[in-house]
Amino acid sequence: MKQSIYSILRGKFLISDDSFKNWRIIIFVSALAIIMIASSHSADKKVHEIARLTNEVKELRSAFVDGRSKLMRLKMESTIIEKVADKGIGISAIPPKKIKVKSQSE
What digits encode the pLDDT tens for the residues 7-42? 777 777 677 777 777 788 889 999 999 999 999 999
Q: pLDDT per residue over 35-89, tens digit each?
A: 999 999 999 999 999 999 999 999 999 999 999 999 999 999 888 888 888 888 8
Please say whether the dihedral angle defined by the alpha carbons of residues 59, 61, 65 and 68, taken in this order, is positive or negative: positive
The number of CA neighbours under 13 Å toward the Cβ of 101 is 2
Residue 35 within a domain: yes
* Number of domains the chain is built from: 1
Residue 32 within a domain: yes
Q: What is the pTM of this model?
A: 0.56
Q: Which structural domain, as residue segments, surrounds residue 46? A: 2-85
So what's the pLDDT on residue 106? Answer: 58
